[in-house]
A and B are shown apart, each in its own frame.
Chain A
């Protein structure tokens, strides 16, 4: 009996499955995003205290949530690579790192834009802001380390080691707002702190952003697999063994 992750270990099967899944996820993202944006910007009330600026929340919170979830995904993939030698784990980790950096940057940017009208400043060195900035640096470190190493196999494993070392900082980032009572409010608790009229748009937006990430992640993984195949094919062509090109390229991609 094979588990799902074992069956996905074959890149060809992954390509088939992802090709079938991707349109569904993409369309679901578009529909949810349109509906969520409609709710967030038109159908939901302005805050009694914050006015219209509260609408930044509908972008800010999903980005912040993704910034941490993506690092968790990278850490899981890294674990899968180092322990189980799962062939797709590195593809997943590599594809997720720039996406994670982008969402973290968006979370910082929208937070900064929200902070100006609410706190009167674009930036304060409070625990949550500092720790998310730290997360951003972690992503940059992962990307930089990978791009500095020429051997792709070694780069994959070394980046995985770094990702797992970085996990030790993740609890600090997650709980910084609860441990140190600073300017940034504690993380959003959907059951109690958000008014029902804002809860639905926020949930829809969170779901839309998560699906958007998975759509981009799958696409990036597919691109990475194709890129590796092309590289393998080119290596084969240079070696003058075109005849076995296709099958050997598959072997190399695995």
Chain B
């Protein structure tokens, strides 16, 4: 367990000291969200209605940008070989890397989402729910993304392929994330969508590292 936390700390430290990745993802998020009113017209009623969906999609795309670096950098400089031969099973290595990705990308994006909601005239009642759903849904984004990152680690133009592979897998997260926001803003309350979103995240947190580790074993052969 000690090496598990050490690996997470190392990734966090790398992310903070390199700096670029988090800022780029947040900047991308901001730009995509502000492009929407330009493309769809500045009608505030329309924007309020689609705000949750736009924020979720932009969030997925922004998270996608940094996914392919989860394993790639470590593979290139040989760290991954050291990790594979080390005491920590590859399943936990993948889990640690995905968790670090969630902390460095998922949480900042989820925190930024309501601020960008102002730009889209998001209903004030929806704010706490939006933060809750994005915080609840982004683990699935990181852990499924880790599987995709492990699968495409060695390919050229891996980023595009990663998007093609991972985005269909994100659809359930997206659907229930958005339906939780729209259900929560109404009188019905959160209920089912929220619980299903939590279930999706939990399942991916458990099974994602197993699949990612299986892929990494093939890649490192």
Give A residues with C-beta under 8 Å from B: 82, 130, 134, 137-138, 140-141, 144-145, 148-149, 154, 157-158, 161-162, 164-166, 168-169, 172
Q: How far is the CB of B42 from chain A (nearest CB, A)?
A: 25
The answer to whether B99 has its CB under 8 Å from any CB of chain A is no
- Please name the residue on chain B nearest to A180 by beta carbon: B175
Query: Which A residues are in CB contact (< 8 Å) with B155?
Result: 145, 148-149
Query: Which B residues are in CB contact (< 8 Å) with A144?
Result: 161, 164-165
Whole-angstrom CA separation of A237 from B157 in the bound complex: 33
- Please name the residue on chain A nearest to B203 by beta carbon: A168
Query: Which B residues are in CB contact (< 8 Å) with A165?
Result: 144, 147, 169, 211
Whole-angstrom CA separation of A158 from B169 in the bound complex: 16
Q: A145-B152, A145-B161, A154-B221 known; A161 and B211 CB under 8 Å?
A: yes
Query: Which A residues are in CB contact (< 8 Å) with B219?
Result: 154, 158
Q: Is the CB of B165 within 8 A of A158?
A: no
Whole-angstrom CA separation of A134 from B144 in the bound complex: 16
Which A-B residue pairs are the 7 nearest by beta carbons?
A137-B168, A148-B155, A157-B218, A141-B165, A161-B215, A161-B214, A165-B211
Q: Is the CB of A148 within 8 A of B152?
A: yes
Query: Which A residues are in CB contact (< 8 Å) with B158?
Result: 148
Within B149-178, the residues touching A (CB, 8 Å) are 151-152, 154-158, 161, 164-165, 167-169, 171-172
Q: How far is the CB of A169 from chain B (nearest CB, A)?
A: 7
Give B residues with C-beta under 8 Å from A: 144, 147, 151-152, 154-158, 161, 164-165, 167-169, 171-172, 203, 207, 211, 214-215, 218-219, 221
Q: How far is the CB of A85 from chain B (nearest CB, A)?
A: 13
Interface of B (DSSP majority class): helix
Whole-angstrom CA separation of A165 from B169 in the bound complex: 9
Whole-angstrom CA separation of A125 from B69 in the bound complex: 34
Q: Is the CB of B164 within 8 A of A82?
A: no
Q: A169-B172, A172-B172 known; A137 and B164 CB under 8 Å?
A: yes
Q: A158-B215, A158-B219 known; A145 and B151 CB under 8 Å?
A: yes
Partner of B164, one of A130, A141, A161, A169: A141
Most buried by B among A130, A134, A161, A168: A161
Q: A145-B151, A148-B155, A148-B156 known; A169 and B218 CB under 8 Å?
A: no
Whole-angstrom CA separation of A130 from B172 in the bound complex: 11
Could you list 18 A-B pairs, sorted by A, with CB under 8 Å? A137-B164, A137-B168, A140-B164, A141-B168, A145-B165, A154-B218, A158-B151, A158-B215, A158-B219, A161-B147, A161-B151, A161-B218, A162-B147, A162-B151, A166-B169, A168-B169, A169-B168, A169-B171
Query: Which A residues are in CB contact (< 8 Å) with B214?
Result: 82, 157, 161
- Please name the residue on chain B nearest to A142 by beta carbon: B165
Most buried by A among B152, B165, B172: B165
Whole-angstrom CA separation of A87 from B211 in the bound complex: 21
Q: Is the CB of B161 within 8 A of A148?
A: yes
- Please name the residue on chain A nearest to B171 by beta carbon: A134
Whole-angstrom CA separation of A164 from B218 in the bound complex: 15
Q: How far is the CB of B145 from chain A (nearest CB, A)?
A: 12
Additional pairs, 19, CB under 8 Å, beyond known A149-B154, A154-B219, A168-B169: A130-B171, A137-B167, A138-B168, A141-B168, A144-B161, A144-B165, A145-B155, A148-B152, A157-B214, A157-B218, A161-B147, A161-B151, A161-B211, A162-B165, A165-B147, A165-B169, A166-B168, A168-B207, A169-B168
Query: Which B residues are in CB contact (< 8 Å) with A164?
Result: 211
Query: Which A residues are in CB contact (< 8 Å) with B147?
Result: 161-162, 165
